[in-house]
Amino acid sequence: MSEKYIIGIDEGSQSAKILIFDTKGNIVCEGKHPLKPYNLPGPELVEHPDDDWWDAICQAGKKCMANFKGNKEDIVGIGLCTIRYCRAYLKEDGMLAQPALSWMDIRVSKPYDFSNPDAKYVVASSGYITYRLTGEHKDTIGNYEGVWPIDIDNWKWSDDPEAYKNTGMPREMLFDLVMPGDILGYVTKEAAEATGFPEGVPVVATSNDKAVEGLGTGCMGETTACISLGTYTAGMMEGKENLKGTTATWPKFSCVPNKYLYDTNGIRRGMWTVSWFRDILGDGYKKEAEAQGMSAEELLSKEAEAVPAGSNGLMTVLDWLAPVDALYKKGVMIGFDGRHKRGHIYRSILEAVALTMKKHVTDMTNEIGVNLDKIIITGGGSNSDLFMQIFADVFNIPMVRNEVNGAAGLGSAICAAVAAGVYKSFDEAVENMVRIKDTFTPNPEAVAFYEKMYPVYTNITKHTDEVLKEAYELFN
């Protein structure tokens, strides 16, 4: 019997990643293509230019398939995961009626206003890509969060007519919904030519990107959480019910049907801030790193390793993208003196991510009454040993890094493996496809320091917010 293969699609805020896995969760090959810079047509408006979502998947797909040395006939399914909280308006022929809206666009938090007469359908990002791949007007229930007429308790469109009025989305503008792990359709001839994927392969529904990531890390049980280091950085853990009235725990659709994912509050431009700092150092720093046989991130990490815990008093507040209900918020770096260099700034940003997520995760676990004994870190940032150790020291909990840290791609493949019958259940698929690489244990000396620093750090915005409110009136 020949080996079977599964494609996992992971399209996030910055790139489209296509990975091919074997049935044991090993990466066989991959392709990646960056998304274009956002269009910013006005304040709080953030659009994806042209047909960027689809174009990036096509380019990444061709790169991946060009690297695939196996038999295309042995590819049994494609799991589709795209970024959550986005919105696209489609014409009657299924093509974009206008540029797709990023999750950072203020319009996705508001009802649809019927301002575009060409719009026949309103869909999540996954609905649009499903149509381009299969020609079907279907989508996963798991990617409909926010302003949609959705019945979260029963995993379906709402039966309440008021829900459609309140969101401005009549039922006829919405695609039909399927559960995670169900088949959405099959790759059309046109899509096969555009992407390189085999024609006729089933495309399988997943969920929202964070839930797919959680599945791909093996984040299960009541004492394990996962922190996803992405453009939007957040924590999550498995949940059993759709909690009501919580303020620090946000129940979302899981990637496992009829289960829930408990989401923390997050950092709206978490790892983006790391990239921002790297990029403003310019090409000269990149060349300096290359001369030493390193990437810019690796050189920054090396410099930051020489900096003590607490970055000699430099602290960063990661409000590089303000929430819609507090537009005055801005990023803050406080505590500079003559000692501070690049490594201090870089470590301060990493510490800010860890300290902010400690607050968000602690708020959630206190609210639902659980104690964690393990946290899985996923995303590109988990490649950094320094970052992993900072997390372990800040949380005083062992931090786990898996063999595959691009967990959304693996989570997508797990869904496709279940749909294709490779495994009988999600639990069986996770057991066979997810493996721990290494664990970082807390350093007692650093733990003691961060315990003292934590209350100082979390109080910064109580003092800076008043200044930023006054500045907002001046500069906006």
DSSP string, 135-166: ---EEEGGG--SSS-EETTTTEE-S-HHHHHH
The CA distance from 90 to 167, in Å, is: 17
Contact 92, 224 (CB under 8 A): no
**Residue range 199-222: mean pLDDT, rounded:** 94
User: Who has greater pLDDT, 1 or 235?
Assistant: 235
Contact 377, 391 (CB under 8 A): yes
**Residue range 423-438: mean pLDDT, rounded:** 96
pLDDT-based confidence at 414, cuts 50/70/90? Answer: very high
**Residue range 198-210: mean pLDDT, rounded:** 96
DSSP percent split of the chain into helix, strand, coil, nearest 5: 40, 25, 35
Tokens 């770096």: give the residue.
Answer: 333
Contact 21, 27 (CB under 8 A): yes
**Residue range 160-184: mean pLDDT, rounded:** 97
Phi, psi of 470 (to 5 degrees): -65, -40
Contact 76, 416 (CB under 8 A): yes
Contact 164, 171 (CB under 8 A): yes
How large is the angle between the packed helices 342-368 and 385-395, nearest 10 degrees? 40
pLDDT at 231: 87
User: For the stretch 204-234, what's the b/e string if a residue is b when 16 or more beta carbons lie within 10 angstroms of its beta carbon?
Assistant: bbbbbbbbbbbbbbbbbeeebbbbbbbbbbb
How distant, in Å, are the alpha carbons of 266, 304, 391, 456 from that of 358? Answer: 10, 21, 9, 14
- Residue type present at position 438: D
Contact 430, 418 (CB under 8 A): no
The average confidence (pLDDT) of the chain is 96
pLDDT at 2: 74
The CA distance from 161 to 192, in Å, is: 39
Count CB neighbours of 476 within 10 A: 8
Which residue, 409, 383, 377, is CA-closest to 29? Answer: 409
pLDDT at 48: 97
**The two three-digit tokens of residue 69, written as one number:** 């040395």
pLDDT at 194: 98
pLDDT at 1: 53
pLDDT at 230: 87
Contact 87, 47 (CB under 8 A): no
pLDDT-based confidence at 13, cuts 50/70/90? Answer: confident
Q: Is 155 left (phi over 0), alpha (psi -120 to 50) or beta?
A: left
The CA distance from 53 to 64, in Å, is: 17
How large is the angle between the packed helices 282-291 and 270-280, nearest 10 degrees? 90
**The two three-digit tokens of residue 1, written as one number:** 């019997």
The CA distance from 224 to 210, in Å, is: 15
The CA distance from 368 to 422, in Å, is: 35
pLDDT-based confidence at 240, cuts 50/70/90? Answer: confident
The CA distance from 1 to 12, in Å, is: 35
Count CB neighbours of 110 within 10 A: 14
- Tell me the per-residue pLDDT of 27-47, one tens digit each, with 9 for 90 and over: 999 999 999 999 999 988 999
The CA distance from 158 to 113, in Å, is: 20
Partnered with residue 436 across adjacent β-strands are: 402
Count CB neighbours of 445 within 10 A: 9
Phi, psi of 64 (to 5 degrees): -65, -50
Relative to beta strand 27-34, strand 15-22 is: antiparallel
Contact 388, 401 (CB under 8 A): yes
Tokens 């200044």: give the residue.
Answer: 467
Q: If you ran DSSP here, which 8-state letter would residue 198 be given? A: P
pLDDT at 127: 98
Count CB neighbours of 154 within 10 A: 12
**The two three-digit tokens of residue 170, written as one number:** 């009549």
- Tell me the per-residue pLDDT of 104-137, one tens digit each, with 9 for 90 and over: 999 999 999 988 999 999 999 999 999 999 999 9
